[in-house]
Amino acid sequence: MKIFSGIQPSGTLHIGNYLGAIKNWVKLQQDNDCVFCIVDLHAITVAYDAKKMPQRIFELAVDLLACGISPQKSILFVQSDVKEHTELGWILSTITPLAELERMTQYKDKSGQHKENINAGLLCYPTLMAADILLYQTQAVPVGQDQKQHVELTRTIAHKFNNTFGETFVIPKPLIYNTGAKVMSLTDPTKKMSKSAGPDSYIALIDEPKIIAKKLAKAVTDPARKRIADKGHPEKCNIFTLHQLFSPAKQISKIDKDCQSAKIGCVGCKKILTKNIAQELAPFRAKRQELLVSPQTVKDILANGAKQAQNQASSMASKVKQVMGLGLSS
Ligand code: TYM
């Protein structure tokens, strides 16, 4: 199956990115044709520091490789290195109804958070994302729940294009797994985990075990459980949900029972979780250290990825221009 997905270079990765997307990418690359993209052009739709961007891109590449993305199995590249993304992004914006863009949840959220900088790029974000996906004849797009709406809009755009100009694009499907598709904030479990609510609200992949322990100690649990003697409701507790994502099955069912019968308190439960998260992330942290000292290797992987991506993207872009009667190609 042809797979495409992307991620923004917007700072450190958190366990939401890992569980909702990257962990699945690593599995999918074993027996699929995968293309993974560092979407720097999406990241500039909010205010950013141009001097810091190269390091952000580099560190995201390091992190993806340290998580297990393999350049032998997948194509890994930076979006702005393949100019067809912006070209097709523009083209698709001309067939996308404004109302569709205005109703996107992410646009509403981000324009609320960045009132001083509601730029047209923020609105057209999904048409660029559609271009990313459609350039590669993508069949499936592994993402977390928050990106589902954008992939659905991509399907609508692709259908419209095919109906207007003739069968051109493969219609992609969102690939969303039952577990980890929406990891919630540590400080407000009614909201998804994201960097915008500050470092206490998320666990970063680079967090040392001590930091993980500190953040989990402050994390919100079952609100109905005030004292250790109160019986807990694991199904209502974000910490228990995280256990389901990081702990072995036997331990999960023991914690479930012990919490309901007040045999274990929140402190004990969080200690076990800290250990399990730290253990799962230990190989990542070790590999990351190795890669950080070999910047040329990482840059070569991205350059080679861009070449391979460009090959695929340019033939699709030519086809699009040809069916639309654009340029000298037609
Ligand atoms: P981005 O960079 O915000 O997030 C990258 C991936 O992480 C997932 N994710 C989560 N999953 C579960 N729980 C959470 N709390 C959580 N937070 C983030 C996201 O769903 C995503 O899969 N627009 C995209 C990037 C993009 C893209 C694409 C994705 C650009 N072009 C084409 C797929 C295909 C974004 O901003 O992801």
How far, in Å, from the CA of 144 to the mean position of ligand 1?
6
23, 192, 215, 270: the active-site residue? 192
Nearest CA to ligand 1 atom 19: 144
110 catalytic? Reply is yes
236 catalytic? Reply is no
What pLDDT shows up at residue 258?
A: 93
Residue type, 122: L
Residues of the chain with pLDDT under 70: 329-330
321 catalytic? Reply is no
What is the Cα–Cα distance from 262 to 259, expressed in whole angstroms? Answer: 5
What pLDDT shows up at residue 226?
A: 83
Average pLDDT over the chain, rounded to an integer: 96
Nearest CA to ligand 1 atom 29: 6
Pocket of ligand 1 (CB under 6 A): 4-8, 16-17, 19-21, 39, 42, 129, 132-133, 141, 143-144, 146-147, 150, 181-183, 192-194
pTM: 0.96
Residue 38 tokens read as: 């560092």
- List of domains in the chain: 2-182+294-324 (3.40.50.620), 195-288 (1.10.240.10)
What pLDDT shows up at residue 223?
A: 85
Q: What are phi and psi of 76, to 5 degrees?
A: -125, 125
DSSP labels for 98-112? HHHHHT-HHHHHHHH
What pLDDT shows up at residue 100?
A: 97
What pLDDT shows up at residue 224?
A: 84
What pLDDT shows up at residue 169?
A: 98
How far, in Å, from the CA of 21 to the mean position of ligand 1?
7
What pLDDT shows up at residue 231?
A: 85
What is the Cα–Cα distance from 216 to 212, expressed in whole angstroms? Answer: 6
What pLDDT shows up at residue 329?
A: 58
What pLDDT shows up at residue 65?
A: 98
Q: What are phi and psi of 57, to 5 degrees?
A: -65, -45
Ligand 1: nearest atom to the Cα of 144: 20
